[in-house]
Amino acid sequence: MPKTGMHGLSLFISDIRNCKCKEAEIMRINKELANIRAKFKKENLLNGYNKKKYICKLIFIFLLGYDFDCGHEESVSLLSSTKFSEKHIGYLFISVVMSEKSNLMKLVFKCVENDLESFNSENQILALNYVANMANGEMSEAVGEQVLRLLFFGDATNSVKQSAVLCLLSLFRLKPDIISKKEYADRITSFLTDPDLGILTASLSLIEALAAANKLNQDNCFHSAVHRLHRIMKYPSLDLQDYNYYFVQAPWLSVKLLKLLQYLPFPVEPSSTKNYLMESIELIFNKVHEPPKTKKIEHRNCRNAVMFEAINYIYHANTEYSLQMRACNILDMNLKQNDSNLRYLALETMQLLTKSAVCSDRIKQQLKPITDSLKYENDICIRQKAANLLYSLCDRSNVIEVIEQMFEYLEDCDMIVKEEAVLKIAVLAENYFCDLKCYVDVILKLLKFYCEYVTTVVWYRFIQLVTNNKEVRGYAAKTLFDALKARPYYDTFVAVAAYILGEFGNLIAGDDRSNPNIQLQLLHSNFAFCSKETKAMLLTTYIKFLNLFPEIKENVKLVFLGNMKDSDPEIQQRAVEYSKLCEVVNRDRLAAILDEMPSYKNKIFSVETAFQNLITKFTETSFEKQSKNERKEDSLERSISYNEAIQHYSISKPTDSDVFPVRSLTVPQNTYIPGNYYDTLVEVFSSDNHAYSRPGSQSTSTLIVTSNEEAIQNLIWHKNGVLYESNILFIYVESEFRKYKGSISLKYQNKSFQVMENFVSFFPNDNDHNKLQLRTKPNSTTISANEEITQDVEIECIQDFTCRPALYLNFFCEGTHQRLDLQLPVTLNKFIEPIILTYNQFFTKWNSMQQCKEYAATFPAKYIMNKELVRTKLNGLGLSILENIDTNLDNFVCAGIFYSQSLPAGILLRLECNFSNFMYRLTIRSIKETISEEILKLTQLLL
């Protein structure tokens, strides 16, 4: 854009930057808008310079986030100007500010068509840029043929052709049928031989889009692309000799050509074109080994960009064994470089090549550089890439070495990737260990030392495999029993041990060191410090013990008796029911009820359901094209159990549709049990009945939020909106009111990765001495990660009020007690219904209220004085806007009726708007003074 030298625009921008507060900025903008409106009313006195200056001011105001209702017609008139600077500003305004639904769009289309048909290249480029950025379906049909004619016919300059190609690409993405004729596609392909770099680079993007849509002659396109790449690589002095970037010939053009070739079929039969392509890739690889011609980092980046794209093409072509081996050697060499970005890209490209059988075998022979990256690299991203690559390379021959390396990585990796690493270890152990006992050892090691990172799907799968394979049941039970003797350990570990010993503890009961009584004592020694979900599972294990080992019946009954008065209703109910079950059911029927769990079916196991909703924590950045991925088969497909988890990973709780039979009602939390807790264990098998107290809350801090005033102001005139939002909780409100009754739907969404527990909402019913009645039903006290619950509140207005009802929220999340003291968006205007009055009816009622106290106020505008916005806000207050009452068209006259269980009350309102001084005068009359006063306050908040 040329220099404008617009002093008024510079002064206005300087004034805005010097504003010390938001109110001062709004005042300055309102003043400027009033001046611009006044100037535009005298359009005949404005020259092109002044129009351009005022349009620039409007663009700046719009970019600051303010709305206005002027300048649109003037900007369209600038499009017809013969001066480039004025036409440029016109296009800028309609591109940035004007809506595509504007009534002026037909005039805009006409101006665009005129500029496209003109012989002025600057006007053509402006019109093409506008179409490329702002085109829609209607515009595509209107100007599509003109763009094609401009590209293929006539004597257009190179700059115009380049803009036309990019414009055609934008139109093609909107409407692929715009390039329907075969001759058009062939002529676009011919641009691959164009000597102009700008046209060639732009046309490659369009040709790539056409190749992806299969609208090209693939043989001709492949031939032209290969020959152009060959000339750039072998004869740089003859092709694009003016474009040499840090001693690398046309690097980005070479990358684009290699990307285009990935959409075209690789020739099967020997040909000169195929030889040229192989020679070009050889030349690219040869340049990697050449000493750098400069120490500038730009030179290395450009050379490496071409090299990595060439390797990517080799992978997609899946041919030429020698080139694949050479690519692997180059990647090995890059792993030893000092540049961390280069090492990262090398690992990422290696992971891509592992899907090729030839390259995968070659990379497996050089695991040491990869494991070194895993151990000694300081960059967390590179270590993560190395871990992903090791996972992809694992098979039965190297599974022990890979899992050992993954455990070393797990010890000191970043916290946010530990859970992903645990999941990968579980995947590899299940898939590649021939002996299931090794799998059991690996999972138990994870449960013992990294239990806080073991997701439910991992230990669910472990229980499934142990249950389905009889040969490892006894080994799993024995290993878990021995591990329980060494403390400390985690809550989830106790839950898994309880399940396995409850099902298969009889297999190790013959050993005096693990007899039934010892099993019961060892499990119950952890009971007092477990979560309520694990306690519930332990109680179920005890009733299983009663069936398996009748000799410990009295000890089990004592446990049930000690928990019959537990404060948690779930624990209490289980203790009572299980105790009664022992007494009223005979031995045979009890054995049938408590029989061993049947085997699970893999095809319906809950892991499959859970994994479909998992989202990766580390976004994979791959050279691989999505369209190519859809056609390729993953040669290293993982097993049915964990296959999808690594690609879509996060913490997730099982859904209601999961079929895994869990003994507790909810998923246990990973509560850590410190070792010193065991010093206070109570002997439960003594003759006295002890009262067991639950451990105190682990929370040591409380976060208190006491205000949501900004959200309330927005919800005064909106039915729906955001009531509160933080990094862990999002509250959205939907409301509906009719006369003196209303309902509010509160939607609580947990934005964190942790479960919100003890979630309690409380509505104190003391608003203005019970002037409002609120009724609600109890809602869920737990909100899972990334889940949402809804609470409905019914409201009834007894009489007019001023205090908004309160909402108190208490919950635990991420180890912290959270307390929110919020206000509900229930204001007096919610119970106002609009009423239509004629001129005579209005003034009759207005005069009849003269005996009542009139409330009036004069105040400055807090927000932009937009007439339509003011109208919308008054309607949001529940008032109807009466037309033809006030002779001043800038003023508003409104009427409504306030409803409560007592008598209705009429409300009349007059709002006078002084746009030049940015002031309002508000007058309200009602039969009740308190209503008038409250409506006055609410209206001032909005204006």
Distance, C-alpha 216 to centroid of its chain: 37
Q: How far is CA 303 from CA 277, 297, 826, 845, in A?
A: 18, 10, 64, 83
d(CA 170, CA 172) in angstroms, rounded, equals 5
Vertex 58, ends 54 and 63: CA angle to 5°? 145
Name the CA dihedral angle for 618, 619, 620, 626, rounded to a multiple of 10 degrees: 160
Phi-psi region of 743 (alpha: psi -120 to 50; beta: other; left: phi over 0): beta
C-alpha dist (Å) from residue 341 to 231, 345, 388, 475 = 30, 6, 17, 47
What single string gives the DSSP state of each residue in 648-699?
S-------TT-----SSSSPPP--B--GGGGGG---TTSSSPPPPPPPPP--
Looking at this protein, which amino acid is placed at residue 893?
A: V
49 annotated binding-site participant: yes
C-alpha angle 297-303-309 in degrees, rounded to nearest 5: 130
Which residue, 464, 455, 463, 462, is CA-closest to 421? Answer: 455
Residue 476 contacts residue 504 (beta carbons within 8 Å):
yes
Say if residues 779 and 792 touch (Cβ distance below 8 Å).
no
Give just the sign of the alpha carbon dihedral 3, 9, 13, 18: positive
Q: Is 867 annotated as contributing to ligand binding? A: no
- The answer to whether the annotation marks 53 as part of a ligand binding site is yes
List, in order, residues 6 or more apart from 669 with CB less than 8 Å away. Answer: 491, 531, 533, 755
Q: How far apart are CA 208 and CA 565, in angstroms?
A: 72
Query: Whole-angstrom Cα distance, residue 191 to residue 166?
Result: 13
**Phi, psi dihedral angles at 470 (to 5 degrees):** -65, -30
Pairing mode, if any, of strands 248-249 and 757-762? unpaired
Measured CA to CA, the distance from residue 487 to residue 894 in angstroms comes to: 74
| Burial of 756: CB neighbours in 10 Å, binned 0-12, 13-18, 19+ | buried
User: What letter does residue 911 receive in the DSSP assignment?
Assistant: E
H or E segment to which residue 731 belongs: strand 729-738
Residues pairing with 738 in the sheet: 741
Q: Is 808 annotated as a binding residue?
A: no
Phi and psi for 652 in degrees, rounded to 5? -155, 145
55 is in an annotated binding site: yes
The rounded distance, in Å, linking the Cα atoms of 760 and 743 is: 20
934 — alpha (psi -120 to 50), left (phi > 0) or beta?
alpha
Q: Which of 127, 110, 108 is nearest to 119 (CA)?
A: 127
- Residue environment code for 345-378, b if the CB has 16+ CB neighbours within 10 A, otherwise e: bbbbbbbbbbbbeebbebbeeebebbbebbeebe
CA pair distance 354, 314, nearest whole angstrom:
13
DSSP bridge pairs for 790: 747
What are the tokens at 403? 């899992």
Q: What tokens were used for 694? A: 């639950």
- 19 among annotated binding-site residues: no
Find the DSSP H helices in 235-338.
251-261, 272-289, 297-317, 321-335
User: Which residues have CB under 8 Å from 726's CB, separation 6+?
Assistant: 705, 751
Q: Which residues are annotated as a binding site?
A: 39, 49, 53-57
